[in-house]
Amino acid sequence: MAEKHLAKTRKFKAEDINKILEIEEQASPKTICSKVTFLNYADILPDTFIVLESGKDIVGYIIFDLTGHIHSTAVKQSYRRRGFGKMLFMHALRWAHKGLWLEVRSRNRGAIEFYKRLGMKIVGKIPNYYEDDDAPLCVSEILSRRKREKHTTFSDLSCSY
């Protein structure tokens, strides 16, 4: 059993890929992001594709960009509700000085509760953002709508939770 205080964040390395895919498969079995997608993220966002390591295990990951857009995050199922998701989120928040923002499936109630708990607000909904679902757009309070609209989103790489 992993202890919170022993977990540490570091940049993704290519050898982590199978563990990331395992986490992804549990998080999103029907709409899994491919190996190629994750490796593309590693190329494009090498400093902000972050894994959380506990001993030899990878317990979760987060991918974000410097506009504060969270592209994807997940925690291994057996490690959930221990504060690891929050640790990853706080790591991203420290980097993204203007706040964080993301899209999430309307049906993903757990993640929506998680983001609300971390102080994010739903500021709108993007109809049909996913093939089969709308996406509430969540932002942390310090990012203004104007700045968010200005930013590029790497939408060709977005994961589909």
Ligand X SMILES: CC(C)(COP(=O)(O)OP(=O)(O)OC[C@H]1O[C@@H](n2cnc3c(N)ncnc32)[C@H](O)[C@@H]1OP(=O)(O)O)[C@@H](O)C(=O)NCCC(=O)NCCS
- Distance between CA atoms of 120 and 103, rounded to whole angstroms? 12
Kindly indicate which of the ranges 9-17, 67-75, 126-134, 144-152 contains the residues binding ligand X, using the contact rule CB under 6 A.
67-75
CA 6 → CA 18, 25, 118, 138, distances in Å? 22, 25, 22, 30
Q: What is the smallest separation between the CB atom of 130 and ligand X, expressed in angstroms?
A: 11
Q: Closer to ligand X at the Cβ: 137 or 146? A: 137
Phi, psi at 83, each rounded to 5°: 95, 0
Residue 121 in the binding site for ligand X (CB under 6 A): no
Rg (CA), the chain: 15
Q: Does 4 bind ligand X (CB under 6 A)?
A: no
Residue pointed to by tokens 């998701």: 85
Residues 45, 52, 58, 75: which binds ligand X (CB under 6 A)? Answer: 75
Question: Which residues from 92-111 bind ligand X, rule CB under 6 A?
Answer: 102, 104, 108, 110-111
Residue closest to ligand X (Cβ)? 85
Residue with tokens 């989120």: 89
- Name residue, tokens 């295990």: 57
Give the phi and the psi of residue 74 in degrees, each rounded to 5. Answer: -160, 155
Segment 23-52, which members bind ligand X (CB under 6 A)?
Answer: 27
The one among 12, 61, 101, 114 contacting ligand X by CB under 6 A: 114
Task: Number of residues interacting with ligand X: please give it, by CB under 6 A.
Answer: 20
Give phi and psi for 135, each to the nearest 5.
Answer: -130, 110
Question: Which residues form the interface with ligand X (CB under 6 A)?
Answer: 27, 73-75, 80-86, 102, 104, 108, 110-111, 113-114, 117, 161
